[in-house]
Chains A and B, each alone.
Chain A
Amino acid sequence: MARMKFICDAERCIECNACVTACKNEHEVPWGVNRRRVVTLNDGVPGEKSISVACMHCSDAPCMAVCPVNCFYHTDEGVVLHNKDTCIGCGYCSYACPFGAPQFPSQGTFGVRGKMDKCTFCAGGPEAHGSEAEFKKYGRNRLAEGKLPACAEMCSTKALLAGDGDVIADIFRTRVVTRGKGAEVWGWGTAYGSKQAGQPQGTQSNAPANGGK
C-alpha cells in the first residue's frame, strides 16, 4: 500500500518558489494563506540551503492528537486531511505542528482567524472527489485524478519529491549516491570557485581544482 510522503532535497532547491506558486494556483488559495513555503537557512551566505516546507502528513500527527473536535483523519494512503465543517478554528493544531503547516485566513468565519487550511497532498477533503464543494474548501483532488501533487510535479530542479514513500526514497537514495557531496557535485566549481565554500579551512585542500567536473 502506498504511503504518500514529501522529501525536499536541500542540495537542489534554488528557492525559486515555483512550488508555492503552483500550489496557490492549483488550489486557488486565498491571500494570506501559504500551504507551502520555501525556507532558506544562512540566506546570502555561500553554502546557503533552502527547503520547501508544507504539511509532512505525519504518521502520528500532532495536529490530530491535539484537535479538540477531531476534525483530522488519515486517508488510506497516509495523507492527513481535515474537515472544515468540523473545524472550529481554535489554532491548537498550529501550535502543535512542528512545520507550521496549519494556516488561518485573515478574513474568516470566526473573527479574524477563520477555519484552518493546510496542504492536502492534492487529495481534496471529505466531500465527493472532484466536486465543486471539495474544490472550494480544499482545492483540486489530483490524487484521485491519478496525478501527484502539483508542487512536486512543477519543481524545476526536482528538489521536491512527492509520492509513495518507497519510490521517492529510492529516487533520493540513487541521487545522493550518484552525485556525491560538496565539491564532488557537478557544477560546484562554477558556482563557488575551486574551493569548497562554507567548509572549515583545513578541509578545503581536499576539493579538486576543477570543482569535481
Chain B
Amino acid sequence: MTRVALVRIDDRLIHGQVVVRWLRYLDCSEILIVDNELWRDDFMHNVLRLAAPPSVRVHVAPVQQAAQHLQTLASANHDGGVPDDRRRALVLLRSPQAALQLFDDGFHFSQLNVGGLAAGPDSTRLYKSVSANADQIAALRELCDRGVRVYFQTVPDERAAEMSHLLPTAC
C-alpha cells in the first residue's frame, strides 16, 4: 500500500529541489499532483509526466477525487493491513487554498511542508522563496487551526522553520 511521505506546497511543482532532493531523500516512487486546473490540461499533464525521473510515476488529480483516494489509503494503512513502506508518494499542491480544500474534503494530513510560493503583487515574503498574500496566509492559518503542523523548508538538509514561529499570531 502506498504511503504519503510528504505533503508539500510548491507552485513550481516538479522542479530541481523536488527531483534532485526530496524524491531521493524520501525514496518516493510516486508523485500525486493535486490541482483542479492542471487536471484538465492535457499538455501540462504530459509535460509533468515526462519531467519526472523514469522510475517515478506521476498522477494529476482534482482536489475532491484526490482527497477521497488519499483518505482511503490513510485508513487502509491505519487499519493494520500490511504497512508496505516500499511505495511512498509525494503529494504536491500549488496553493495553500488547495491544501485547505484537500484537508476539508477528508484527507487529514498532520504536517504540511511549504517549499515555494511565488511573490505576487500583494504578497509579503515569509521565508526564502515563499511569499504569500492575505488569502494564502488565511488558508495556512486555517490549517494551523485544524491542528496541522505547517512548516517552511525548501530542501531536506536545511532546518525547517515553523509557521508558529514565523507568524506567531497565526497559530
Partners in one complex: no
Interface residues in chain A, defined as those with a beta carbon under 8 Å from any beta carbon in chain B:
none
Interface residues in chain B, defined as those with a beta carbon under 8 Å from any beta carbon in chain A:
none
